Amino acid sequence: MESFAIYVPRLLPRKDFFAPGHRACIGCAEALAVRLVAKALGREVIISNATGCMEIVSSPFPTTSWRVPWIHTLFENAAAVGSGIEAALKILNKKGVRTKMPKVVAMGGDGATSDIGLQALSGAWERGHDLLYVCFDNEAYMNTGIQRSSATPFGASTTTSPAGKLSIGQTRWKKNMPAIAAAHDIPYVATACPSYPFDLIDKVNKAVATAGPAYLHVLSPCPTGWRYPPDLSIRMGRLAVETGVFPIYEVENGKYKLNFDFPQLRPVRDYLAQQGRFRHLPEEEIERIQEGVNREYEKLKKKLEA
Amino acid sequence: MGMVGMEGSLALAEAVRLADADVIAAYPITPQTHIVERLAEMVANGELNAEYIPVESEHSAMSACLGSSAAGARTFTATAGQGLELMHEVLYIAPSLRLPVVMAVANRALSAPLSVWGDHSDAMAVRDCGWIQMFAENGQQAFDLTLCAFRIGEHPDVLFPVMVHLDGFHLSHVVEPLVLLEQSDVDRFLPKYSHPFALDPDRPVTMGAFALPNVYTEAKQAQDTALKSAKSVILQAWQEFSEISGRHYHPVEHYRTEDAQVLLLTMGSFSETAMVAIDEMREEGKKVGLIRLRLWRPFPFQEVRQAVESAEVLVVLDRCLSYAGPPGPVCSEIKAALYSQQKRPKVVGFIGGLGGRDISVQEFAQMIAKGVDIAGRGGEEETEIIGVRG
Amino acid sequence: MSSKRKETDLTWQDIDIGCVITSPGNAAQYKTGDWRSERAVWNKDRCIKCGICSIYCPEGCVNQDSEGYFEADLYYCKGCGICARECWTQAIEMVPEE
C-alpha cells in the first residue's frame, strides 16, 4: 500500500465471490474479511477451508455461499489439503490434462492455524508449495462458543480461560503467528484487518502474485466473542491497530515494512474499555498489557531496521 | 512377461508406476517404507512422472490425498500400524466425499508395546471407515491388487478409496518370484482418472458442507448403498484383469474345499502356510479345506455363506485381538454373516500371529484338530491365542 | 438435485455424490433479512455516493441504485449498523423494525 491512502471504493471489483445468505453473526467482521478476500481473489482460485466459523456459516447443506471451487474436510488440515491440490494442479498441467493454474488458497481461523493446524501449515511452508494461507483471527474458538486459543490475547475472558475470583482470564501472551511464518523464510507474510479494506485487498493481490508460500494474518473483530455492539466492528479493528495491539506490516523476502505507523500510539485502555471480554481487568493488568504491547511494538520496530 | 524375483514392496511400487500415478503423498513408517522409497527413486530418475509430496505426518499424507483426488489427480499413499491410526479421522472423509485414493497398508501391530512386525490390528481398527478393502497373500497379489485398486476406485460408478492390505515384513520385505505386466496391457486395463466434480473454477462446486440431523442420515444411506453396489464393479474388474494376466481373483478364494467337512479361514500371508497344512492333512485322508477372504469390504456375504454351507466346522484364524469383546474381529463378522442361515457350520475362532509371530504348518494342523474338538463339545469356549506361553 | 428444495424434503437418492453442492452461491436464497431488529435507511441529501458502506457490509448487500445512491437489499440486511456507524456524512440511520 502506498503511503497515501486513496479511498476509491468504485475502483474495487464489483463481483462478490462470497454470497450473502451466509449465517454469520450480525456485524461479523470475519465474514466481511472473507468477503473482501474472496473479492480480491476473484474467479481463478481453489479454496481449502478448515472447520470453523466461516466454514460453518458458509456451507449448511444443501446451500453454499461460495461461488468458487471450495473444499472443507477437517479442522487441522487446510494446509495439507491445499498442498495436495497444488501438487495435483502442477502435475496435471505438466501432463496436459489441465491447462490453467488457479491459485490455491487455504483458509482457517486462529484455532485451526496456530493450534491444531500448526503442524500441517509448517509442513506446507517447509515444502514450499505455491499456496496462500489466510488466517482469519477472531482470537478464540468462536464457533464452538468462545473458548481460548493460543491467539487469545492476555487478559481476555473466554469460557476456558474465564475471569474469576482467582483468575484474570487468559494468562499467556498471544502467539505470534506472523513471526512463526517469517521464521520459515517464506517469501511473503503480512498482517491485515478489514477495517483497512484497501490494504487488505492489496495484500491479497500481492500474496496471490507470490510464487511460493504466502501467509496473511487478518484480525477479525467478533462482536459475539469480544462482547461489543455489532456496529462497532470496524472501529474495533481500527483501535487494535492505532493502539499497537495489532500492527499492520509486511515481511517481503525477510524484509520488514510497517504499513501504518503513528506518531503516537493510542493508550491500550482505549481498546480494552470497549470490549466486555476485558471488562474485569484491574488497573495493574491493564498496565501489564500496555507494557506488553509496547515491548512487542519495539521488537517489531527493531526488525524494520535489520 | 518373464518371472522376476522382487520384494513385495518394490513390486507394489512397480504397480503404482505402471498405473502412472499423478500424486504420491509419502511419510515413512516401518514396514511400508520400501514402497515410498522406491517411488521416490522412480520420480527422481524420471521413471514415474508424478508430484511426490514428502508430508510431515500420516494425517497430512491422507489429507493431501483428499486434495489431490478432489483436483482430479490419480493419488497414492502407503502406511502401516500407527500411521494408519494417526490418519484415522481423515480415512472417513475420503469415502464420504467420494474421493478415490489407493493406499497400500503393510499391516503392522499396534502399540503398546511398540511392534513394527506384522498383524492385522491396524486393518481391523478401520473396518468401518467406508473404504473398499482387499487382502493380498503374496507379492504377486500385492502387485495385482494395487493395479485393480486404481481401476475399481476410480470407476465412475464407484468413486471410493481402496486399501490394499499386505502383511508387514512377511510380504513387504520378502523377495518372491512374480510376473509384472507390460505397460500396454495396463494401459488397456486402466482408463484415465477423472472426477465428475473435480475442483475447477470453470465449474465451481462446494465439497464438504455440514449436514444438520435432518439430512445426515440420507447422506449415509446414499454412501452405504453406493459402497455395496461397488461389488459388481470389483467382480468385473477382476474378470477383466484375468484377461490381461491370467490370474483371476474372487471375494472368497477356495483351496481344496470341494468335499471338505472342516474348513479353515485365513487372511493374508498365513494362507500359504495353511495350504501346506491342508495338503498334509488331505494326505492323511482328512476332508479339510481352506477358504481365504480376499474382499473384506464390501463384505462378501453371499460368497462366504456359499463357501461354508456344506461344512460342519469352520475354524477362523484372526490375526488381531479385540480386548474383552468377542475376541476375533473376523470371526465375529463371519458369525454375524452366518447367523441368519438355516444351515451353517459350527464356528470356532483362534487368535494367532500377533506382533509378527509365526504359525507353523504343524500349529495349523493342531489348530484345525482343536477346532473340531471344541466344535464337538458345543463350540463355546474361551478363544485360544495360538502359541502363547503361560 | 434441485437446490430450491428444503433439506427436509430430500431423499437419499436426491443427494449428489459426497453431498457435493453444484449451485455456486445458492445460499443467496436464504433470507437473513428476517434476523434484523432494525434496518439501514439512507438519507439521499447527505449521501455522497462514496461507497464505503458497500465495502464494509459483511453481507455484501449494499448496492447502488439507478441514480448512484447506495441502499441495502432488505432481503439480506441483518441490521448490524456498521454502515451507519462508518458513513462519512452520517447519511445512514438505523430504523427499528416493528
Cβ contact A85–B210 (<8 Å):
no
In this predicted structure, the answer to whether residue C96 has a pLDDT above a threshold of 60 is yes
Residues B208 and B262 in one domain: no
Listed in sequence order, the residues at least 6 apart from C9 whose beta carbon sits closer than 8 Å to its beta carbon are: none
Residue A65 in grid coordinates: 455461499
Q: How far apart are CA C83 and CA A27, in angstroms?
A: 10
Q: How far apart are CA B290 and CA A113, in angstroms?
A: 53
> Across the interface, which of A91, A92, A120 has its CB nearest the CB of B63?
A120
At residue C95 the predicted structure's pLDDT band, cuts being 50, 70 and 90, is very high
B10: three-class secondary structure by DSSP: helix
Cβ contact B57–A123 (<8 Å):
yes
At residue C4 the predicted structure's pLDDT band, cuts being 50, 70 and 90, is low
Q: Which residues of B touch C19 (CB under 8 A)?
A: 96-97, 208-209, 211, 219
Residues B318 and B188 in one domain: no
**Can you say whether residue A141 is alpha, beta or left, with left for phi > 0 and alpha for psi between -120 and 50 degrees?**
beta
- Number of residues written out for chain C: 98
Q: Which residues of C touch A18 (CB under 8 A)?
A: 60
- B26 to chain A: nearest residue by CA? A84
- B92 to chain C: nearest residue by CA? C18
Pair A40, A205: CB distance under 8 Å: yes
Last residue of a domain, one of B208, B225, B245: B245
B205–A contact, CB cutoff 8 A: yes
Q: Which of C82, C86, C95, C97 is the best residue to mutate to test the A interface, defined by the most A CB atoms within 10 Å of its own CB?
A: C82
What phi, psi does B383 have (nearest 5°)? Answer: -70, 130
The partner residues of B207 in beta bridges, in order of sequence, read A71
Q: How far apart are CA B38 and CA B381, in angstroms?
A: 47
> In 10 A of CB B202, how many CB atoms?
9
Residues B230 and B309 in one domain: no
Residue B180 in grid coordinates: 509384472
Q: How far apart are CA A73 and CA A84, in angstroms?
A: 13
Q: CA angle, corner B84, sides to B80 and B90, nearest 5?
A: 150
Cβ contact A46–B199 (<8 Å):
yes
Residues B206 and B335 in one domain: no
**C-alpha distance across the termini of chain C, in Å:** 38
Q: What pLDDT, on the 0 to 100 scale, is given for residue A5?
A: 46
Please, is A103 exposed, middle or buried when counting C-beta atoms within 10 Å of its C-beta (0-12, 13-18, 19+)?
A: buried
Q: What pLDDT, on the 0 to 100 scale, is given for residue A6?
A: 53
- Most distant CA pair in chain B: distance in Å? 69
Contact residues, B window 281-300, toward A, CB-based 8 Å cutoff: none
Is residue B128 domain-resident? yes
In this predicted structure, the answer to whether residue B161 has a pLDDT above a threshold of 50 is yes
Residue B30 in grid coordinates: 516401518
A165–B contact, CB cutoff 8 A: no
Cβ contact A64–B209 (<8 Å):
yes
Q: What pLDDT, on the 0 to 100 scale, is given for residue A4?
A: 38
C76–A contact, CB cutoff 8 A: yes
Chain A: partners with 3+ C-beta pairs within 8 Å: B, C
Residues B8 and B150 in one domain: yes
Whole-number Cα distances in Å, C34 to A20, A223, A224, B385: 13, 19, 19, 65
Q: How far apart are CA A223 and CA A153, in angstroms?
A: 16
Last residue of a domain, one of B222, B245, B268: B245
Cβ contact B55–A43 (<8 Å):
no
Residue B390 in grid coordinates: 503361560
Mean pLDDT, range B120-143, rounded to an integer: 98
Q: What is the CATH number of the domain that holds C63?
A: 3.30.70.20
Cβ contact C18–B212 (<8 Å):
no
Domain ranges for chain A, please list them.
11-305
Listed in sequence order, the residues at least 6 apart from A192 whose beta carbon sits closer than 8 Å to its beta carbon are: A199, A200, A203, A216, A217, A218, A219, A248
Specify the amino acid at residue C47: C
Specify the amino acid at residue B168: G
Cβ contact A71–B73 (<8 Å):
no
Domain count, chain B: 2
Q: What pLDDT, on the 0 to 100 scale, is given for residue B82?
A: 98
Q: Where are the beta strands (DSSP E) in chain B?
A: 3-7, 23-25, 51-53, 75-79, 102-107, 132-135, 162-167, 175-179, 206-207, 252-255, 262-266, 288-293, 295-297, 313-318, 346-351, 384-385
Pair A20, C28: CB distance under 8 Å: yes
Residues B200 and B263 in one domain: no
Is residue C50 domain-resident? yes
What phi, psi does B166 have (nearest 5°)? Answer: -140, 140
Q: How far apart are CA B340 and CA B142, in angstroms?
A: 34
Q: Which residues of A touch B51 (CB under 8 A)?
A: 87-88, 90-91
Residues B117 and B32 in one domain: yes
Domain count, chain C: 1
Q: Which residues of A touch B192 (CB under 8 A)?
A: 97
Cβ contact C79–A26 (<8 Å):
yes
Q: How far apart are CA A18 and CA A64, in angstroms?
A: 9
Q: What is the CA radius of gyration of chain A?
A: 19
- Number of residues written out for chain B: 390
Residues B305 and B264 in one domain: yes
Give the DSSP letter of residue B110: P
Pair B295, B237: CB distance under 8 Å: no
The pLDDT tens digits for C38-86 are: 999 999 999 999 999 999 999 999 999 999 999 999 999 999 999 999 9
Q: How far is B83 from chain C (nearest CA, A)?
A: 25
Pair B179, B6: CB distance under 8 Å: no
Pair B66, B94: CB distance under 8 Å: yes
Pair A133, A180: CB distance under 8 Å: no
Q: How far apart are CA A272 and CA A58, in angstroms?
A: 30
% residues pLDDT > 70 (chain B): 100
Pair B295, B251: CB distance under 8 Å: yes
Q: How far apart are CA A14 and CA A228, in angstroms?
A: 30
Mean pLDDT, range B298-308, rounded to an integer: 98
Among A194, A243, A261, CA closest to A221: A194
Q: What pLDDT, on the 0 to 100 scale, is given for residue C5?
A: 65
In this predicted structure, the answer to whether residue B298 has a pLDDT above a threshold of 70 is yes
Cβ contact A229–C23 (<8 Å):
no
Mean pLDDT, range B170-175, rounded to an integer: 98
Would you call the peptide bond into B204 cis, given omega within 30 degrees of 0 as the criterion? no
Q: What pLDDT, on the 0 to 100 scale, is given for residue A230?
A: 98
Q: What is the dihedral of CA B312, B317, B318, B324, to 10 degrees?
A: 60
Q: How far apart are CA A57 and CA C32, in angstroms?
A: 12
Give the DSSP letter of residue B28: -
Q: What is the domain extent for residue B39?
A: 3-245
The partner residues of C42 in beta bridges, in order of sequence, read C92
Is residue B390 domain-resident? no
Q: How far apart are CA B61 and CA A109, in angstroms?
A: 22
> Across the interface, which of A19, A197, A234 has its CB nearest the CB of C27?
A19
Q: How far apart are CA B350 and CA B358, in angstroms?
A: 14
Cβ contact B71–A66 (<8 Å):
no
Q: Which residues of A touch B59 (CB under 8 A)?
A: 76-77, 80, 120
**C-alpha distance across the termini of chain B, in Å:** 51
Q: Which residues of C touch A19 (CB under 8 A)?
A: 24-28, 60
Segment holding C93, helix H or strand E: strand C92-96
Cβ contact B219–C11 (<8 Å):
no
Q: What pLDDT, on the 0 to 100 scale, is given for residue B369?
A: 97
Cβ contact C36–A28 (<8 Å):
no
At residue B374 the predicted structure's pLDDT band, cuts being 50, 70 and 90, is very high
Q: What is the CATH number of the domain that holds B340?
A: 3.40.50.920
Per-residue pLDDT of chain A (306 residues; tens, 9 = 90+): 443 345 677 778 889 999 999 999 999 999 999 999 999 999 999 999 999 999 999 999 999 999 999 999 999 999 999 999 999 999 999 999 999 999 999 999 999 999 999 999 999 999 999 999 999 999 999 999 999 999 999 999 999 999 999 999 999 999 999 999 999 999 999 999 999 999 999 999 999 999 999 999 999 999 999 999 999 999 999 999 999 999 999 999 999 999 999 999 999 999 999 999 999 999 999 999 999 999 999 999 999 987
Last residue of a domain, one of B230, B245, B260: B245
Q: How far is B101 from chain C (nearest CA, A)?
A: 14
The partner residues of A45 in beta bridges, in order of sequence, read A103
Q: Which of B52, B57, B60 is the best residue to mutate to test the A interface, defined by the most A CB atoms within 10 Å of its own CB?
A: B60
Q: Which residues of B touch C13 (CB under 8 A)?
A: 222
Is residue B265 domain-resident? yes
Q: How far apart are CA B385 and CA B382, in angstroms?
A: 10
Chain C: partners with 3+ C-beta pairs within 8 Å: A, B
Q: Which residues of B touch A93 (CB under 8 A)?
A: none
**Can you say whether residue B355 is alpha, beta or left, with left for phi > 0 and alpha for psi between -120 and 50 degrees?**
left
Among B154, B87, B159, CA closest to B126: B87
Q: What is the CA radius of gyration of chain C?
A: 18
Is residue C92 domain-resident? yes
Would you call the peptide bond into B300 cis, given omega within 30 degrees of 0 as the criterion? no
A76–B contact, CB cutoff 8 A: yes
Cβ contact B209–A60 (<8 Å):
yes
Residues B323 and B179 in one domain: no
Mean pLDDT, range B313-333, rounded to an integer: 97
Cβ contact B196–C15 (<8 Å):
no
- Number of residues written out for chain A: 306
C-alpha neighbours within 13 Å on the C-beta side of residue B98: 26
> Across the interface, which of A16, A67, A230 has its CB nearest the CB of C80?
A230
> In 10 A of CB B217, how many CB atoms?
11
Return the CATH architecture of domain A11-305: 3-Layer(aba) Sandwich (3.40)
Residues B40 and B134 in one domain: yes
Q: How far apart are CA A197 and CA A204, in angstroms?
A: 11
Worst-scoring range by mean pLDDT, B47-56, B328-337, B372-381? Answer: B372-381
Residues B33 and B126 in one domain: yes
B50–A contact, CB cutoff 8 A: yes
Listed in sequence order, the residues at least 6 apart from C70 whose beta carbon sits closer than 8 Å to its beta carbon are: C42, C47, C49, C51, C53, C54, C62, C63, C64
Residues B50 and B169 in one domain: yes
Q: What is the CATH number of the domain that holds B196?
A: 3.40.50.970
Q: How far apart are CA B132 and CA B126, in angstroms?
A: 11
Per 3-state DSSP, what percentage of chain C is helix, strand, and coil (rounded to 5)?
A: 25, 15, 60
Q: Which of A26, A73, A236 is the best residue to mutate to test the C interface, defined by the most C CB atoms within 10 Å of its own CB?
A: A26
Q: Which residues of B touch A48 (CB under 8 A)?
A: 67
Q: Which of A49, A63, A83 is the best residue to mutate to test the B interface, defined by the most B CB atoms within 10 Å of its own CB?
A: A83
Q: CA angle, corner A207, sides to A209 and A125, nearest 5?
A: 110
Mean pLDDT, range B331-350, rounded to an integer: 97
Q: What pLDDT, on the 0 to 100 scale, is given for residue C16?
A: 96
